[in-house]
Amino acid sequence: MNPFVSCLGLVPRSVKPRQSGLTMVLDKFMGSNGTADLIETAGEYVDVVKLGWGSSVLYPEAALVKKVGMLRDAGVHVCPGGTFLETAFEHGKVEVILDLAKEIGFDAIEISNGIHPDMTRDDKLRMIRLATERGFHTMSEVGKKLPQEDGAMTYQQRIQEVREDLAAGARKVIMEARETGTVGIFKADGKINSELAYELFKHVDPDSILWEAPQKEQQVWLLRQLGPEVNIGNVPPSDVLSLESMRHGLRADTFRDHCKNSSCVFLELGVGGALRAQRRGDVVVVVDALRASATIVECLDKGARELIPVVSAQDLQGEVTIGERGGAKLPNADLGNSPREITREVVGGKSVVITSTNGTECIRTAKGPNSVVLIGTVTNCKAVAQAAVRIAKETGRNISLVAAGRNNLPAIEDRAGVTEIMKCIGNATPRGTLEPCFSDNLERDFLSSDSGVNLISLGYIDDVIYCSRLDISTSVPIFDGERIVAFV
């Protein structure tokens, strides 16, 4: 073992054959010298080498046998690409090719149906069973090579295929992303298709998936979402030590994730993000910066006994009612969703029922049997951050900051509110689906936001300015599933 490992107190990698934390290398061309270099410098971190596409057919036989043997001797599974087996299927030679691959020394096989136009699900499952019966370390692949075909696959289809492939004998299921990382859970520009990714995370065991992710930013995202033991594939040979460094926090991209005092903070959007946070059992801070969060905080500051958040305007009944849709006061409400209208005379000692366009639904969605729900915004960001950190440390939970958004899209004022809270948390490692917004002028950004412009048109410019004021309250609302009270 490298002496630096024990000196720094790093947790050594588990011994191969590993069940998680797999690294699959995509080999496009390496000869014996390149293969020897890979084994010498990074062999203990490589679990599978896949000879890309159908390139196995093109090697000189002696070079192919030598290369496969070197990798096998180093404890690395060696696999011809998925297109290799699809070519065999096209020529009706699957069983012959499997037997020949075994003779050459391959011990792993990838079964895909990413490009063949006529391969059925039954054909693919039969091939998985054939490879498994021959003793191969069998991996299947889910997804399509062509972006338009892959984009037509629903997450339900992918989940079903994963489950069927595993039942047929696949050890791992490779999630198609191509060598470029531009399909599957990644968009054409390589950015994360977070909606698809989170649906897969929810419905299949992530450890059963080998996620193709050739780009460093994609690897970082997966490491942050699923931890250092995530299985990652299509790694260029030259990037193996880079990936391994990030698994251990030895590169700036993930360094803070491994610091002793770092906090894992998920940044989420809307009702969907609230649901993800609830299912994780996080400490959830719901941020509806214009204006529900500020109004709730103001009600507690002015002595309200409790607030009851409701989703439907029809449920807006109680001692004092606050309600709006699209910024406008509901006709059956006593007050609009305006923190400037809240007075001690109106709400002091009373039960307040509140509904808003987005915020109250997010609040109710975020509360589950294991989650803790706080309400925060710019006006109480320091206090709510301190409360979230305290609860997270006492209970061993992560923290989620959920931006309510506008029309199911990110709203700059909510992103700014989330970011101000994250800054107050301290050594936070951001994860999740929402990009932070570091504002150097909150009042300007609130006034120029879509929600701000709408509220100004309705005559609420003072509300917008008020909601952009930083740390004017120390109240921290907490929701118990029925009512919101002050956290103490």
pLDDT tens digits, one per residue of 459-479: 999 999 999 999 999 999 999
CATH number for the domain formed by residue range(s) 264-486: 3.90.1560.10
Mean pLDDT of 251-271: 86
Q: What is residue 250's predicted lDDT score, i.e. its pLDDT?
A: 96
Q: What is residue 13's predicted lDDT score, i.e. its pLDDT?
A: 81
Query: For residues 226 and 209, what is the distance between their CA atoms, to the nearest angstrom?
Result: 11
pTM of the model: 0.70
**247 pLDDT band (50/70/90 cuts)?**
very high
Residue from 280, 175, 233 nearest 26 by CA? 233
Quick check: 307 pLDDT over 90? yes
Quick check: 375 pLDDT over 90? yes
Q: What is residue 311's predicted lDDT score, i.e. its pLDDT?
A: 96
Q: Rounded to the nearest 5°, which phi and psi values hold at 103?
A: -65, -40
Mean pLDDT of 64-74: 98
Whether 35 and 71 have beta carbons less than 8 Å apart is answered as yes
CATH number for the domain formed by residue range(s) 11-255: 3.20.20.70
Residue from 381, 431, 430, 438 nearest 412 by CA? 438
**443 pLDDT band (50/70/90 cuts)?**
very high
The boundaries of every CATH 3.20.20.70 domain in the chain are 11-255
Write out pLDDT tens, residues 325-374: 999 999 999 999 999 999 999 999 999 999 999 999 999 999 999 999 99
Mean pLDDT of 121-150: 97
Q: What is residue 453's predicted lDDT score, i.e. its pLDDT?
A: 97
The boundaries of every CATH 3.90.1560.10 domain in the chain are 264-486
Query: For residues 62 and 382, what is the distance between their CA atoms, to the nearest angstrom?
Result: 67
Q: What is residue 12's predicted lDDT score, i.e. its pLDDT?
A: 82
Mean pLDDT of 66-72: 98
Tokens for 75? Answer: 């404890």
Mean pLDDT of 4-9: 88
Quick check: 433 pLDDT over 90? no
What are the helix (H) ranges across 134-193?
Answer: 147-151, 155-168
Q: Other C-beta atoms within 10 Å of 409: how many? A: 9
Whether 475 and 486 have beta carbons less than 8 Å apart is answered as yes
- Give the pairing of strands 328-329 and 320-325: antiparallel
Quick check: 202 pLDDT over 80? no
